[in-house]
Structure 1
Amino acid sequence: MTRLSLILIFFLISLLAVFEAPAYYLWLLAIVVTEFPLVFVTISAVLVASGFWIRNYQLAGTIIGILSIILYLSPIVRAYAVAGTLKDELNTAFNLTEGDNGRPFSFGKMFIPTKDVAGKTLTYINYADTALTLNYYPSQLAGKKPCVIVVHGGSWAKGDKAQLPELNSYLARKGYNVVSIDYRMAPKYKNPAAVMDLKEALTYLRKESNQLNIDTNNFILLGRSAGAQIALLAAYTLHDKGIKGVIDFYGPADMVWGYSLPANPWIMDSRGVMEAYLGGSYAKVPLNYVASSPIEFVDQTSVPTLIIHGHSDVLVAYEHSRRLNEKLAKNGIKHYWLKLPWATHGFDFILNGPGGQLSTYAVERFLKAVSPPAP
Structure 2
Amino acid sequence: MIRFYFILAFFLIALLNFFKAPSYHFWLLAIGVTELPFIFAAIAALLTVTGFWVNKYQLAGTILGLVTVIIFLSPIIRAYWIATDIKADMAAALSTKQSDDTPLSFSKLFKSAKNDPYKTIKYVQYQDTALNLDYYQSKASGKRPCVIVVHGGSWAGGDSKQLPELNTYLAERGYNVAAINYRMAPKYQTPAPVEDIQATIAYLNKHADELHIDTNEYVLLGRSAGAQIALLAAYTLHEPGLKGVVDFYGPADMVWGYSIRSNPLIMDSRKVMEDYIGGSYFKVPQKYVACSPLEFVSSKSVPTLIIHGENDVLVSREHSRRLNLKLEQNGIKHYWLRLPWATHGFDYNLNGPGGQLSTYAVVTFLNNITQK
- 1:86 and 2:96 correspond: no
Give 1:70 deviation, angstroms: 1.2
Counterparts of 2:101 and 2:334, CA distance in 1? 21
1:38 partner amino acid: F
Q: Secondary structure at the match of 1:141?
A: coil
Q: In 1, distance between residues paired with 2:100 and 2:220?
A: 21
Matched-pair contact (CA < 8 Å) for 1:101–1:365: no
- 1:118 lines up with 2:121 in the alignment: no
Taking the aligned partners of 1:116 and 1:372, their CA distance within structure 2 comes to 26
Amino acid at match of 1:345: H
Pairing 1:145–2:144 present: yes
Match of 1:109 in 2: 108
Contact 1:117–1:172 (CA under 8 A) maintained in structure 2: no
- Residues 218-252 of structure 1: CA distance to partner in whole angstroms, max 9, x if unpaired? 00000000000000000000011100000000000
TM-fit CA distance, 1:9: 1.1
Task: Spell out, residue by residue over 1:254-285, the C-alpha distance to the aligned partner (whole angstroms, 9 max, x if none).
Answer: 00000000111111100000000011100000
1:32 pairs with 2:11:
no
**1:249 paired residue number:** 248
Q: How far is 1:144 from its partner?
A: 0.5
Alpha-carbon deviation of 1:113? 2.4
**For the residues of structure 1 that align with 2:96 and 2:137, how far apart are their CA atoms?**
26
Is residue 355 from structure 1 mapped to residue 363 from structure 2 by the alignment?
no
Q: Which residue of 1 aligns with 2:316?
A: 317
- Deviation string for 1:44-79 (max 9, x for gaps)? 111010001121211111111111111101111110
- Which residue number in structure 1 is paired with residue 226 of structure 2? 227
CA-atom RMSD, angstroms?
A: 0.8
- How far is the alpha carbon of 1:111 from its aligned partner? 1.4
SS of the counterpart of 2:9? helix
Aligned-residue offset at 1:104: 0.7
Deviation at 1:115, TM superposition (A): 2.2
Per-residue CA distance 1:173-212 (angstroms, 9 max, x = gap): 0000000000000000010000000100000000111110
Q: Measure, in 2, the Cα distance between the counterparts of 1:253 and 1:116.
A: 30
Q: 1:210 is paired with a residue of what secondary structure? A: helix
**Equivalent pair of 1:246/1:305 in contact (CA under 8 Å):** yes
The CA distance in 1 between the partners of 2:165 and 2:319, in whole Å, is 26
How far is 1:112 from its partner? 2.3
Find the residue that maps to 1:317 and give its secondary structure.
coil
| Whole-angstrom distance in 2 between the partners of 1:34 and 1:168 | 22
Q: Secondary structure at the match of 2:132?
A: strand
Shift of 1:372: 3.5
CA distance in 2, matches of 1:103, 1:247: 20
The number of equivalent residue pairs is 372
Distance in 1 separating the partners of 2:103 and 2:320: 21
Equivalent residue number for residue 263 of structure 1: 262
Q: Which residue of 1 aligns with 2:209?
A: 210
Within 5 Å, which residues of 2 pair with 1:9-48? 9-48=9-48
Q: CA-to-partner distance for each residue in 1:10-65, whole Å, 9 max, x for gaps?
A: 11110111110000010000001001100011001110100011212111111111
The range that moved more, 69-78 or 150-159, is 69-78
TM-score using structure 2 length:
0.99
Give, in whole Å, the separation in 2 of the partners of 1:279 and 1:132. 22
Q: Does 1:4 align with 2:4?
A: yes
Whole-angstrom distance in 2 between the partners of 1:159 and 1:193: 16
- Aligned residue in 2 for 1:60: 60
Letter in 2 for 1:265: P
What SS is found at the alignment partner of 2:255? helix
| Aligned-partner Cα distance in 2 for 1:92–1:117 | 34
Tell me which moved more, 216-225 or 47-56: 47-56
How far does residue 116 in structure 1 lie from its aligned partner after superposition?
Answer: 2.5
**1:290 Cα offset (Å):** 0.2
More moved, 288-297 vs 1-10: 1-10
1:321-363 deviation per Cα after TM superposition (whole angstroms, max 9, x unaligned):
0000000000000000000000000000000000000000000
- Structure 1 residue runs without a partner (length 5+): none
Could you state the TM-score of these two structures normalised by the residue count of structure 1? 0.98
Deviation at 1:156?
Answer: 0.1
Q: Deviations over 1:86-130 (max 9, x none)?
A: 000111111222x62422112111112222222010000011111
Q: State percent identity of aligned pairs.
A: 62
Write the letter of the residue equivalent to 1:11.
F
| Residues 340-351 of structure 1: pairs in structure 2 closer than 5 A | 340-351=339-350
CA distance in 2, matches of 1:164, 1:117: 12
What code does the residue aligned with 2:168 have? S
**Once superposed, which parts of structure 1, at least 4 consecutive aligned residues long, lie more than 3 Å away?**
none
Q: Secondary structure of the equivalent of 1:258?
A: helix
Aligned-partner Cα distance in 2 for 1:83–1:251: 23
**Structure 2 segments unaligned to the other structure (5+ residues):** none
1:56 and 1:9 map into 2 onto residues whose CA distance is 18
Which residue number in structure 2 is paired with residue 184 of structure 1?
183
Question: In the alignment, is the contact (CA less than 8 A) between 1:101 and 1:361 conserved in 2?
Answer: no
**Are residues 1:298 and 2:297 paired?**
yes
Indicate if the aligned counterparts of 1:24 and 1:267 stay in contact, CA closer than 8 A.
Answer: yes
